Amino acid sequence: MKESKKTVSREIGLEIGHIVGKGLFQLDHLHYGLWKKGLEPSILNLHIAQDEYCKFIISHIPAEVKSILDVGCGAGAFSKRLVDLGYKVDCVCPTEYQNKIVEKLLGETSEIFKCKFEDIQTSKKYDMIQFCESFQYIDLDRVLDIAASLLNPGGYMLICDFFKKCSDACAIKGGQKLDKFLDLLGKSSFKIIEDIDITAETAPNIDLVDRTTKEVIVPLAGAVERFFQSQHPIVLKLIKWKYRKKIAKVEKKYLTDEKSGKNFTQYKTYRLFVCRKVK
Ligand SMILES: C[S@@+](CC[C@H](N)C(=O)[O-])C[C@H]1O[C@@H](n2cnc3c(N)ncnc32)[C@H](O)[C@@H]1O
């Protein structure tokens, strides 16, 4: 099936994020970092904050878990870490670019389902299904039933992701609606056994991205624009006219002051949920 433009641009965004993050800042992951008190929110510290995020999740994996399905495994660094800790890990990811990296990293040790979670076809069962910042991308009306069908009796679902607290418009996109999620969870075969709010420790990522956009990406784009203006002024004028709506949209999305940790805290809630399949 043809991917929607929104999905393709999101996946390309993650690809660019991984290339730049890995190439320039040794970042292995595509998730937010967990900024512990005292850790200065700077791009050079992001790998430390991402490592803290992984350690935080690992410390909440129930003791009896041996097999894990990592949904939306990104570039696979977290899956690899779990494998190295002795877990049997399989992955699901619909993105070709990421899957090539994951295959190289995990080799024969893991099965990689190269599809959306919603389309997974397998008779395998797992002790735990984890969604590390991937839950927001899955169809909320289907995710709980599919997760339950892939779990052993008494298995766990670990979700670490942000949710929308309310339906008010917010410049920071993403996240399932928390009240809808909790409502569906209440009617499902899962019971929450842990619910931890890490909004304050993850919000500094938003300020970091905003600062990087304004201090690095915008000046770079300005320099590229000046170069084209000096070499090909008419072509540049035509491009700017043709894409004027898109340019205005991007400017509105990235250049307002609404993308801040403060607004993230107001509109979103970043949570770790560990849920157990009880029925
Ligand atoms: C923000 S990244 C997080 C990656 C990784 N879990 C990490 O913590 O670094 C979101 C991931 O979800 C994947 N994804 C998006 N839609 C998905 C879907 N419907 N089913 C499974 N994975 C999906 C993306 O390809 C990407 O790997």
Cα 50 to middle of ligand 1, angstroms: 16
Query: So what's the pLDDT on residue 75?
Result: 87
Closest Cα to atom 18 of ligand 1: 116
Show the tokens assigned to 81: 């870490």
- Average pLDDT of the residues in 71-75: 92
Amino acid present at 272: L
CA-nearest residue, atom 10 of ligand 1: 134
At residue 1, the pLDDT reads 47
Confirm if 275 and 189 have CB atoms less than 8 A apart.
Answer: no
**Alpha carbons 38 and 112: distance in angstroms, whole number:** 38
- The model's pTM: 0.85
Residues enclosing ligand 1, CB less than 6 A?
A: 11, 14, 29-31, 71-74, 78, 92-95, 98, 116-118, 132-134, 137-138
User: What distance, in Å, lies between the first and last C-alpha atoms of the chain?
Assistant: 34
pLDDT at 89: 96
Q: Are strands 268-277 and 190-197 parallel, antiparallel or unpaired?
A: antiparallel
**pLDDT value, residue 275:** 98
Among 224, 218, 198, 226, smallest CA distance to 259 is for: 218
Task: Name the residue of 51, 93, 96 whose CB sits within 8 Å of the most ligand 1 atoms, as the mutation to test its pocket.
Answer: 93
Report which residue type is found at 172. I
Name the residue at shortest CA distance from atom 12 of ligand 1.
Answer: 72
| Structure confidence by residue, pLDDT tens digits, 189-242 | 999 999 999 999 999 998 888 888 888 887 888 888 888 888 888 988 998 898
pLDDT at 3: 65
Q: What is the Å distance from ligand 1's center to 138 Cα?
A: 9
Q: Whose CA is nearest to atom 16 of ligand 1?
A: 137
- The pLDDT, as a whole number, for residue 132 is 96
d(CA 200, ligand 1 centre) in Å:
23
- pLDDT tens, 168-178? 777 778 899 99
Comparing 70 with 107, which gets the higher pLDDT?
70
Contact by Cβ (8 Å): 202, 33: yes
- Which atom of ligand 1 sits closest to the CA of residue 138? 19
Token pair for 56:
């935080």
User: For residue 108, what pLDDT band results from cuts at 50, 70 and 90?
Assistant: confident
Compute the average pLDDT of residues 137-143: 96
Residue 53 confidence (pLDDT) above 90: yes
Please tell me the distance between residue 210's alpha carbon and the centre of ligand 1 in angstroms: 22
Whether the Cβ atoms of residue 279 and residue 170 lie closer than 8 Å to each other: no
Distance 95 CA to ligand 1 centre (A): 8
pLDDT of residue 166: 79
Q: Grade residue 2 by pLDDT with cuts at 50, 70 and 90.
A: low
Nearest-5° Cα angle at 83, 77 to 84: 90
pLDDT in tens, 255-268: 777 788 888 898 99
Mean pLDDT of the chain: 90
CATH topology of domain 5-200+265-277: Rossmann fold (3.40.50)
| Number of helical (H) and strand (E) elements in the chain, helices listed first | 12, 8
Residue 167 in this model has a pLDDT that exceeds 80: no
Per the CB < 8 A criterion, the answer to whether 157 and 252 are in contact is no
Structure confidence at residue 7 as a pLDDT band (50, 70, 90): confident
Nearest to 136 by CA among 31, 51, 62: 31
Asked if residues 101 and 22 have their Cβ atoms less than 8 Å apart, the reply is no
Higher pLDDT, 18 or 39: 39
Which positions ≥6 away from 274 have C-beta within 8 Å?
A: 60, 62, 156, 157, 158, 192, 193, 194
145 C-alpha to center of ligand 1: Å?
Answer: 19
Q: Is 47 exposed, middle or buried (0-12, 13-18, 19+ CB in 10 A)?
A: middle
Q: Whose CA is nearest to atom 23 of ligand 1?
A: 72
Determine contact, residues 81/38, Cβ cutoff 8 Å. no
Question: Which residue owns the Cα nearest ligand 1 atom 11?
Answer: 72
- Dihedrals φ, ψ of 122, to 5°? -160, 155
